[in-house]
Amino acid sequence: MTTRRIAVHEMIFDKKKRARSILRILRRLYPNADCALEHRSAFELLISTILAAQSTDVNVNRVTRALYQKYRGPADFLKVQPEELENDIHSTGFYHNKARSIIGTCRLLVDEYDGKVPDTMNDLVRLPGVARKTANVVLGTWFKKNEGVVVDTHVGRLAERMALTWNARDSKDAVVIEKDLMELFSRKDWTCVAHALVWHGRKICMAKKPACALCDLSDLCPSAFSFENLPPVKGPTRKRSLRQRSERR
């Protein structure tokens, strides 16, 4: 039976039970899972998340280390010409649109929010360049408010592979995947499960070569070992390997 058929035909009670088991293992594997974007404030997290669109967290962190030395708050971004900001964020890609969004966001923060990042979904999505995903990142990570589940490429991929979504067209159907995950997991776990899935997607369940032989979730994943033309995994067993990785971190 395909993963898609399992996702559709598995009873919701059984799916929720499996989801709880998955989360329990993820918590054990990644007890310190958190947002990979470096930040010291809600504002820095907001700007970094805008910059992260179509870029990597590593690249964004490299850019923002210097960026936040130059721009300390919303007012500082409004003092420069767009071309200067575009040059500062150029390597994150789509710098024209991102600069326009950042300047627009900073303008609204200064004019309507006293320069502070709001802590509600309705207010956040009013900001230019901020959609539900970005708002979820800021609310869950900084304000500790679980209003939804962040669905990035890793979360979408793992949700599809592990049959944690049953209404989505594919792994890129983020809005539908988020609704399915919100139904499966308790509200208090929404931020945690997103961060943990991202970490697992980066370390084990990679897009092209998932390391199923090293995965502690393989017994709970209907897609495990179903990827063809992948070289066998060499080295220690999955539990020993993950323990060694944890010790090195």
216 is catalytic: no
Question: Of residues 152, 179, 203, 216, which has the active-site annotation?
Answer: 152
d(CA 190, CA 184): 10
Instruction: Pick the catalytic residue from 15, 133, 180, 189.
Output: 133
What are the φ/ψ torsions at residue 30 (nearest 5 degrees)? -130, 70
Report DSSP letters for 73-86, one per residue: SHHHHTTS-HHHHH
Specify the residue for token string 């200067």: 84
CB neighbourhood size of 141 (10 A): 20
Backbone angles phi, psi at 63, to 5 degrees: -75, -45
- Whether residue 152 lies in the annotated active site: yes
Tokens 């708050």 sit at which residue?
73
List alpha helices for the chain, DSSP H: 3-9, 12-29, 42-51, 57-70, 74-77, 82-88, 95-112, 121-124, 132-141, 153-161, 174-184, 190-203, 238-248
CA 41 to chain centre: 18
Q: Which residues are catalytic?
A: 133, 152
